[in-house]
Amino acid sequence: MKMKLGFVLCQLLLFIEGTSSNWEDWWTYDGISGPSFWGLLNPEWSLCNKGRHQSPIDIDPTVLLFDPYLRLIQVDKLRISGTIKNTGHSIIFEADTTPSVAKINITGGPLSYKYRFQEIHIHYGKVNSRGSEHSISGYAFPAELQMIGYNSDLYPNMTEAVRLHKNQGLVGVSVMLQSGDLSNAELRILTNQLDKIRYRGQKAHIGHLSVRELLPETDFYITYEGSTTLPGCYETITWIIMNKPIYITKQQLYALRKLKQGDEKKTKAPLADNYRPAQPLNHRVLRTNIDFRRKQGKSCPTMYQDHFYEANSPLWNTGS
């Protein structure tokens, strides 16, 4: 086993020597530069292999802990502008950070501070049976949209919030995308630009996006302390996973799956399957504002055997 690992690492070092010195240029989601090796590639990424509070995770509904002190999540309703780009690893929307433009804050929920929204990351699969980073009882969704913000009470920007590796540096609000006949309207604003960013490095401007309207119509969520899901897997993020999906059409998924990892000259493989596998929970507490003791009603979520869902609008029910 040691000889096999040594051979892989030797190949990896040879691969590194033949590439750019910029780590961001070549890490991947598979092979010898994939998630299993992120922590071995760069000393600053060691948490990817050694961390005890890593993300994403598979959520077991039977271990959820109801926390009556969890508040409702608040996201400013302002519309913002920004840039959507193909990084070669993911699709990322970056908010305009010009000092004079409006900023969106995320507060409430499990958060003790005010967080400034900064980015949206989209993870998705080649087929509908995989793609989301977080999963429920082993069930994955076709895609996952993650809204990332930094603690603006303590840090001047997102770079500092990540760099210091402190708790409560970031927040990640996760929304699952389920295949359906009618898409979320704000999601269409993002996907309408995909033809312009088919290849790595391409960008497109987006104006008047409502981050708030990307959230599903529910007040219920699950929260835990975890890490960023990209190298170097910094354990500085509070995850909030919404208990209801928004919908994405087959046409939108097809447009996502046409995107490439490479540029126009060397297109490389499709960008799809850009998700990190689930990481060990390691005795972390999964809290929720869903009170399972309440009697099920039209707006009351409940736990029924191993299925976790919101009445009349199932999310975690894998049979839906």
Structure tokens, 214: 């990307």
User: b or e along 198-232 (b: 16 or more beta carbons within 10 Å of the residue's beta carbon)?
Assistant: bbbebebebeebbbbebbbebbbbbbbbbbbbbbb
- 301-306 contacts, C-beta under 8 A, 24 or more apart: 301/220, 301/243, 303/61, 303/62, 303/64, 306/61, 306/62, 306/137
Catalytic, 275? Answer no
What does the alpha-carbon distance between residue 233 and residue 54 come to, in Å, rounded to a whole number?
Answer: 7
Tell me which of 155, 224, 234, 275 is the catalytic residue: 155
3-state secondary structure the chain: CHHHHHHHHHHHHHHHHCCCCCHHHCCCCCHHHCHHHHHHHCHHHCHHHHCCCCCCCEECHHHCEECCCCCCEEECCCEEEEEEEECCCCEEEEECCCCCCCCCEEEECCCCCCEEEEEEEEEECCCCCCCCCCEECCECCCEEEEEEEEECCCCCCHHHHHHCCCCCCEEEEEEEEEECCCCCHHHHHHHCCHHHHCCCCCEEEEEEEECHHHCCCCCCEEEEEECCCCCCCCCCEEEEEECCCEEECHHHHHHHHCCECCCCCCCCCECCCCCCCCCCCCCCCCEECCCCCCCCCCCCCEEECCEEEECCECCCCCCC
Catalytic residue ranges: 155
